[in-house]
Structure formats: structure tokens, C-alpha cells
Amino acid sequence: MSSFRFKSLREATNRQPVAVEQSSVKTSEFFGINVFDRYKMHQNLSKEAYNNVVEAIDKGTKIDRKIANQVATGMKAWAIDRGATHYTHWFQPLNGATAEKHDAFFELSDNGSVIENFNGDMLVQQEPDASSFPSGGIRNTFEARGYTAWDPSSPAFVIGKTLCIPTIFVSYTGEALDYKTPLLKSLNALDNAAVAVCKYFDKDVTKVIATLGWEQEYFLVDEALFFARPDLWITGRTLMGHSSAKDQQLEDHYFGSIPDRVLAFMREFEIEALKLGIPVKTRHNEVAPNQFECAPVFEEANLAVDHNQLLMDIMAKIAQNHKFRVLLHEKPYKSVNGSGKHNNWSLMTNEKKNLLSPGKNPKTNIQFLTFLINIVRAVYEYDDLLRAGIASHGNEHRLGANEAPPAIMSVFIGTQLTSLLNDLEKRVTGKKLSPDEKADIKLDIGKIPEILLDNTDRNRTSPFAFTGNRFEFRAVGSSANCASAMIVLNTAVASQLKEFKKDVDALIKKRVKKDEAILQVLRKYIVESKRIRFEGNGYCDEWINEALKRGLKNTIDTTEALKTFVTEKSLKLFTDLKVLSEREMYARYEITLESYKNNIQIESRVLGDLALNHIIPTAVKYQNILIENVKGLKDIFGEKEFKVIASTEIQAIQEISNNINAIKQLVIDMIEERKKANVITDIHLKAEKYTKNVKPFLENIRTHIDKLEMIVDDELWPLPKYRELLFIR
Ligand code: ADP
Ligand code: MG
């Protein structure tokens, strides 16, 4: 009997549910307690320092050295008071994780005594060794230094005993090596472009921020079972496993209550999150067994991205207290739904007006339409770039897999808005509008608030759906850094808004009245971007054919999707708006390809090892038992009769051999293909070889292993099965 598997199962089933904390403390009493937010700055900084930081946050102004020293002193005092002994610059390198290098607050003085020290220089800038982070060839080996620089717009926080200071991370030569740098630049570009457009409607708008509310899906798995599955803990997903007789078909998980042990975990990580100022609000079961979702109230996008990264870390840490592991992989199990991260995104003015929410008067309604139509056109114009922004080895298993939005980018706006756009298209003719025509349009536009009020129109199969007062980008992968998708979206919309302003101004110059000019340009965009709008079921096959007819791309392949990063059009977009330079774009492209290739390489190695060391020996063992049995039957029943009596065993012996032989050969062939791919130096060709020639083996080998799983005695099987992994006892 496989002791490893049964020990894990025993451990997993013996768990006592941890009591759900019956805390009577109100959230308001501890929310943000570990964050150096405005309130704490106000308490701990001089008036001058406080005003300087606030101005830096709101207007992006620089903080001078003297002020930085004051801020550092106040921040240190607060952090030590919260129990911190160390500080770190906290940043988001391109390998998808978050990075920290902890330094203690103390320094040795000349006479050997220890003094607590943390000054402005340490707050503002650090030079971590960048050599272990991906740089895509930007960083030469002789210049391994990189800079981290303080981002005052995201507040510092204390985790455990460490003060974490959110920073950007750039190479010695100034190129971005992280997500935050281009995210901030894209937000800035969007701010400028959106404010300029807002001025048509409201002169008081001075700033537009992007808001982001993410919904994080994840799986939980028992720790003991997790560690008995090397594929799961090494690659994040199961590379084999026959589907469980029951998984999600009864939908009993989605509608069921949250198990106590899970609730205890949720409660604990939510409290930690709330202490860090992450406004987590919603929790529920998801469709697949052991799949859950967590969502906060939306925030300014830069902060929301930081908070999502933080939350993923916190969840992983707290899960261990409950003997769980969190699976953030997009597709941990083959036969059940995968996980995504829905990015709800909108635009908000300095006056706290949501630009995707129509107002009470015709002017604000036209403003609403302007932003809505421009965003649709941005998706139309840069659909392949949005696709590239969500491309990853994990998301590849999810997009278009009958449960997740397809790899085809399209926009859903609902039937009511669709008919409104259709009407506008008909009514605005390009000629000067008569008073009657104007009245008709006004009437149409005036109806928008009512339309949206009872907008129950929800489409959960669209990758990019308008949901009443925001767009929901649903195709983002569950493990992704939200910034990757947001950088593309912000930049695409910024560019589109700039074009809009140019087009409208050109008409105004020709003496077309402002309102009419806006309507004419919007009508042009409605017509041009029509084919990106799709209101039907995005999961069905008809849509694939329909999209093909419309000329929309359906890029299933990740390496193919990533190519968009370095097309002339994309390079122009990002360099024109100063979000990323050409060198940075190429670097990102290469880093993503490299990571993609590495992941397939690791999966291929793990599967090969498991097949040869775990599966085949187990199958042989069981086959020998069968052989002994058949021999015994032959002894008892004799040459003639045993063949009938032992026919199923004989057939099983044959089937086991067939599968073993197939697996052996496939593993040998797969290793051959890896070798061929590994000698290629061009990373694009190499990644392509991995996709085309190595990846298919994973599925083929798995099929044979899954067949063996159904033949071999359950007691011998060395790995926890799907029915065990998928349910929490
Ligand atoms: P659903 O599951 O129906 O999509 P949820 O309530 O789970 O809805 O998630 C909705 C998310 O959208 C939340 O994170 C919420 O904060 C966010 N959201 C709401 N309004 C905005 C907005 N104006 N900008 C960005 N995100 C928003
Ligand atoms: Mg949602």
C-alpha cells in the first residue's frame, strides 16, 4: 500500500476545523491600522512635511531631501511603535512576485554602539542587486545594480516586523524592470487625455483617475494532499488525474454554505487584509469544488494593484495556519473550471464623478457616451494588445475553454445601449442637424439614466463587459499582476481619447458647433468599431465562426499573442504616450516568452519524472499481482478453462503494458524535443518550439496515465486523486 498517499489522506481527513473567530471588534476599529496613511502622516509629520507628501501624492510633485528626512523620521517612529524592527523597499519585478530585501533599522555608530537609523535617502532610494530579477537583456551583467524609488502615492505599511515601502524598480540606466513604473506612467497619460476631453463638458475637472476593483478567484487544497502531489506544488497545477465522478455538475458548491474550516481561513486573512487597508468586502464560493472568490471595494488603480499583490501574499501565508494551500493557478484541475481575476475598471474625476455613470442632465449624458464609445473604440483598435496583456502559460488553459471568456476580444454593452448607439448612428448624418433632429437625439440621450437604472443585462461570457457603471475585464488570469492588463487598457484608452480630442477640435475649427462635432465624431467611432461589439454567448462555437467572419482575431497560442507587444503599432502607442520605450517593450516581450517557455519546460520535466518514477513502477507492481493471480487460476483450472475465467485480468495485463509502453516512448520523444528546443538561442523560436513540439506531449502522456489510474488498484496508486483533492473534509 502506498504509505505516502494514505498518510496524506489520513492527515487531511483528521483536521479539526479551526473555530471561526467570534471577534466583536468592529472593522472600523482596526481598518488600516498597519498603514502609514494620511491620517497617520498627519499625526507623525510636521505640517510642512505632511503638506509636501500630500502634494506629491495628488499632483506628482517631487519631495526634496530635507522633507524626505522628516518623512523618514516620522515613518520610522510610527513603524517602530507598530513593532517593526526592519524596513524594506517593496516592489513588483517582472517575475510576477513581489520582492523585498529587509534591512534592520539600526546602524553601528563610531563608538560601536547601536543607533536606530532610517533617513530620507533610505526612504527615497535603494540599490538592490538586480541581477536575480528578469530584465530581458536590459541589464548587463557588469552592471547588476538597479534602483528602487519610493512611490508616495501608495502608502507604506507594516507586515509582521517589517516596514514595507512601495517602490518602483528600474535598471541602472533608468529602464523599468517592474510593473509599477509603466502603470504609473499609463495612469498619468490617461489622466492627461481624459482631463482634456472632460473640459468639453466641465471646466472644473483637473484630474481623472482610473479606478480598479478586482475579484480574485482561487482554489484551496489541503496541505497534506498538496505535498503528496509534486506536480501541484512544483507547477501549480495537476499534470495528471482522472476526473472525479462528481465535481461541479450539481452546482452544489456555488450555492452551498462555506465550510467552517474555510470560513476560519477567510476570516483570518480578511482581518489581516483590513489591517493593511485592503477594503475586502465580498466572499463567496465559486463554481468548482473548493473554489472561492474574494473582492474588495474598488480603489484608485495603483493602490488596487498593490493591494491585490499584497492580498495574494497574505492569503498564501494565512492558509498555512489552517493547513491549506492557496492555488492561484488559472487551471489547477483539468475537468473543472479555472480561476480568473475580473478587473472592474472605470474613470473618476477629482470631483468624484464616475465618468461611466450618466448624470442627471443632457451634458453629463453626452460625456458618459463619449467615454463609453471611446473605450469601445480603444478595445476595437487594440484588441490584440489587450489579448497580449493577459497572455500567460496559465491563462492559456483557461481562455476559450468553455468556462472562461474566449481568446477573442469583444465588448458587451447590453441591448439598451446597443439600440441607443444604433439610433445615434442613424440620426447623426454629418449634415447640420435640424432642431427636430436635435430634439430627437436629446430625447434618446436623456433616457440613458433610466436605461442603466434597470440594467439587469449581464453577460458573463464576454471578456470585456459594460456592467452599468464600469467595464469588467474578465479575461485576466487569477495569478496575474493586474497591472499587466491595466497598463495596456489605460494606454489604449489614453491614446483613443487624444485622437477623439484631435478629431473634435478639427471639426470645431471648421466652425461645426461643439456638441455637433462631438456627436459626429462619436458616430464615426460607432460605425468603425461595430465589429468588436458582441452581445451573444461568448462561450459557444458559433461565436468563433462569427468572429472569424468579422475579421476578429482568436489567438489561442500564447507565443503568438505576445508578438503583438513588438509590432510597429504597439511600439508607437507606448512610446508616443511615454509609457514604455522600445527597449522596455522588447525586454518585456522576451521576459514573458522566457517565463512561458520555462513553465512548459518545468511541467514537462515534472511529468516525465512522475511518469517514470511514480506511475510506471506502480503499474508494473499491480500488473505483477495480476500475473500471479492469472498463474494461480491456471494452476487451479488448467490450461483450457483459465483463459475464460481470467479473461478480464489478462486483458488488464495487456492494457497496462500498452499504456506503460506508450508512456515510456512518449517521455523519450518529449525529452528529445526538449533537447532540440534547448539548443535554439532565439527566445521566440525556442518558446514556439516548446508550444508546438513539447506541450502536446503533456496531454498525450496524461491520457495514458489517467487510463492507468482507472485500472490500477486504488491502494497502490501513489498520488492523491481528484476526488480527494477537490473536496475539503
Ligand atoms: P460581480 O460578481 O457581480 O461582478 P462583485 O460585487 O463581486 O460583482 O464585484 C464587483 C467589483 O466591481 C467590486 O470589486 C467593486 O468594488 C467593483 N466596482 C464597482 N464600481 C466600480 C467602479 N466605479 N470602478 C471600478 N470598480 C468598481
Ligand atoms: Mg464580476
Q: Which of 209, 470, 471, 482 to mutate to test the pocket of ligand 1 (most atoms within 8 A of CB)?
A: 470
Q: Does the residue 66 lie in any domain?
A: yes
Mean pLDDT of 699-716: 97
Same domain, 374 and 514: yes
Q: pLDDT confidence of 455, banded at 50, 70, 90?
A: low
Q: Do 158 and 203 belong together in one domain?
A: no
Q: Which ligand is nearest to the CA of 278?
A: 1
- Comparing CA positions, the residue from 697, 678, 699, 700 lying closest to residue 689 is 678
* Whether residue 394 is found in the same domain as residue 471: yes
Q: Which pLDDT belongs to residue 21?
A: 55
Which tops the pLDDT comparison, 485 or 175? 485
Grid cell in block for residue 589? 516581450
Centroid of ligand 1 to alpha carbon of 110 (angstroms): 55
- CA proximity to 588, closest of 181, 184, 236, 307: 181
Q: What integer pLDDT is reported at residue 457 of this predicted model? A: 64
- What is the whole-number distance in angstroms between the Cα of residue 342 and the centre of ligand 2? 6
Q: Residue 689 above 50 pLDDT? A: yes
Return d(Cα 237, Cα 331) in angstroms, integer.
Answer: 7
Task: Write the DSSP string, 507-568.
Answer: HHHTT--HHHHHHHHHHHHHHHTGGGB--S-TTSHHHHHHHHHHT--B---HHHHHGGGGSH
CATH number of the domain at 686, please: 1.20.120.1560
The answer to whether residues 457 and 318 belong to one domain is yes
Beta strand 341-349 with 291-296 is unpaired
Length of the chain: 729
pLDDT tens, residue by residue, 497-507: 999 999 999 99
Q: Which of 215, 341, 342 to mutate to test the pocket of ligand 1 (most atoms within 8 A of CB)?
A: 215
pLDDT digits (tens, 9 = 90+) for 356-409: 998 777 778 899 999 999 999 999 999 999 999 999 999 999 987 767 778 899
Model pLDDT for residues 288-345, shown as the tens digit of each residue: 889 999 999 999 999 999 999 999 999 999 999 999 999 999 999 998 999 999 999 9
In this prediction, residue 141 carries a pLDDT of 47
Q: Are strands 86-90 and 162-171 parallel, antiparallel or unpaired?
A: parallel
Q: Which of 311, 344, 353 to mutate to test the pocket of ligand 1 (most atoms within 8 A of CB)?
A: 344
pLDDT tens-digit series, residues 535-554? 988 888 889 899 999 999 99
| 245 is a domain residue | yes
Q: How far is it, in rounded angstroms, from Cα 208 to Cα 115?
A: 44
More confident call, 171 vs 499:
499
461 Cα: distance to centroid of ligand 1 (angstroms): 17
Which CATH number characterizes residue 67's domain? 3.10.20.70
Q: Whose CA is nearest to atom 14 of ligand 1?
A: 213
Cα separations (Å) of 560 from 108, 127, 322, 379, 387? 54, 36, 41, 19, 10
CA of residue 217 to ligand 2 center, whole Å: 10
- Judge whether residue 729 has pLDDT over 90: no
Last residue of a domain, one of 550, 580, 610: 580
Distance of alpha carbon 451 from alpha carbon 459, whole angstroms: 16
Q: What share of the chain is helix, strand, coil (3-state, %, to 5)?
A: 55, 15, 35
pLDDT level of residue 456 (50, 70, 90 thresholds): low
Residue 241 has pLDDT above 60, yes or no: yes
Strand 291-296 to strand 208-222: parallel, antiparallel, or no bridges (unpaired)?
A: antiparallel
Mutation probe of ligand 1 site: the residue of 298, 302, 346, 461 with most atoms within 8 A of C-beta: 298
**Atom in ligand 1 nearest the alpha carbon of residue 467:** 4
Atom of ligand 1 nearest to the CA of 469: 23
Main-chain phi, psi angles of 663, to 5 degrees: -60, -45
Task: Judge whether 182 and 579 are in contact, CB under 8 Å.
Answer: yes
**Roughly what angle, to the nearest 10 degrees, separates helices 65-81 and 47-59?**
100
User: 131 with 222, same domain?
Assistant: no
Judge if 570 and 687 occupy the same domain: no
Confidence category of residue 60, pLDDT binned at 50, 70, 90? confident
Number of domains forming the structure of the chain: 3
Q: Please, are residues 325 and 221 in contact by the beta-carbon 8 Å criterion? A: yes
pLDDT at 371: 98
Please give the distance, rounded to the nearest whole angstrom, from the Cα atom of residue 276 to the centre of ligand 2.
23
Domain assignment of residue 9, yes or no: no
**Lowest mean pLDDT segment, chosen from 171-175, 337-341, 572-576, 654-658:** 171-175
Residue 17 has pLDDT above 70, yes or no: no
SS3 of 150, please? Answer: strand
In the reported structure, the alpha carbon of residue 343 is separated from the centroid of ligand 2 by a whole-number distance in angstroms of: 8
Nearest-atom number in ligand 1 for the CA of 296 is: 14
The reply to whether 197 and 157 lie within a common domain is no
pLDDT at 499: 98
- Judged on CB neighbours under 10 Å (0-12, 13-18, 19+), 654 is exposed
Average pLDDT, the chain: 91
pLDDT of residue 96: 76
pLDDT at site 115: 64
Query: Which atom of ligand 1 is the closest one to the Cα of 295?
Result: 14
Query: In angstroms, what is the span from residue 484 Cα to ligand 2's centroid?
Result: 19
**Strand extents, DSSP E, 79-207:** 86-90, 103-104, 106-108, 114-116, 125-126, 146-150, 157-159, 162-171
Instruction: Using alpha carbons, list the distances in angstroms from residue 363 to 111, 317, 355, 431.
Output: 70, 50, 12, 21
When pLDDT is averaged across residues 342-349 and rounded to a whole number, the result is 97
User: Which of residues 388 and 20 earns the better pLDDT score?
Assistant: 388
pLDDT score recorded for residue 98: 85
Residue tagged 465618468 (cell numbers): 355
Q: 622 falls in which pLDDT band (50, 70, 90)?
A: very high
Nearest to 498 by CA among 206, 185, 192, 200: 192
Within a domain: 271 = yes
Query: Would you place residue 12 in the very low, low, confident or very high pLDDT band (cuts 50, 70, 90)?
Result: confident
Whether residues 479 and 332 fall in one domain: yes
CA-wise closest residue to 324 among 254, 220, 251? 220
List ligand 1's pocket residues with C-beta within 6 A: 211-213, 215, 282, 295-298, 344-346, 354, 469-470
Chain segment 272-300, per-residue pLDDT in tens? 999 999 999 988 888 888 999 999 999 99
Domain-embedded: residue 636: yes
Residue 511, Ramachandran bin (φ over 0: left; ψ between -120 and 50: alpha; else beta): left
Q: Which three cell numbers mark 686? A: 525556442
What is the arithmetic mean of pLDDT over 654-679? 98
Cα 8 to Cα 11, 317, 721, distances in angstroms: 5, 21, 11
4 domain residue, yes or no? no
CA distance 250 to 31: 38
Q: Looking at the structure, do residues 192 and 172 belong to the same domain, yes or no? A: no
The reply to whether 618 and 683 lie within a common domain is: yes
Q: What is the mean pLDDT of residues 87-91?
A: 92
Q: Which atom of ligand 1 is nearest to the CA of 354?
A: 23
- Position 512 scores a pLDDT of 93
pLDDT for 28 beyond 50: yes
The set of residues, in sequence order, having a beta carbon less than 8 Å from that of 257 and lying 6+ positions away, is none
* Cβ pair 300, 208 in contact under 8 A: no
Question: What's the whole-number mean pLDDT along residues 33-46?
Answer: 95
Ligand 1 centre and the CA of 380: distance in Å?
Answer: 23
Residue 158 is assigned to a structural domain of this protein? yes
Q: Are both 575 and 599 inside the same structural domain?
A: no
User: In angstroms, what CA-CA distances link 611 with 22, 227, 507?
Assistant: 47, 17, 68
For residue 343, the cross-strand partners are 214, 473
User: Mean per-residue pLDDT for 478-493?
Assistant: 98
How far apart are the C-alpha atoms of 124 and 116, rounded to whole Å?
A: 18
Binning pLDDT at 50, 70 and 90, where does residue 453 land?
low
The pLDDT of residue 645 = 92
Among the candidates 130, 146, 178, a domain finishes at 178
Q: Which residues are found with C-beta within 5 Å of the ion, ligand 2?
A: 215, 342
Grid look-up 509590432 returns 567
The residue segments making up the domain with residue 111 are: 19-178
The CATH code of the domain that includes 400 is 3.30.590.10
Domain boundary (527, 545, 580) is at 580
In degrees, to the nearest 5, what angle opens at C-alpha 348 toward C-alphas 342 and 351? 155
Answer whether residue 589 is part of any domain. no
Categorize the per-residue pLDDT at 1 as very low, low, confident or very high, splitting at 50, 70 and 90.
very low
Residues 6+ apart with CB under 8 A from 423: 444
pLDDT at 529 > cutoff 70: yes
Q: Based on the fold, state whether residues 99 and 242 are members of the same structural domain.
A: no
- In terms of Cα–Cα distance, which of 357, 340, 304 is closest to 470? 357
Between 443 and 267, residue with greater pLDDT? 267
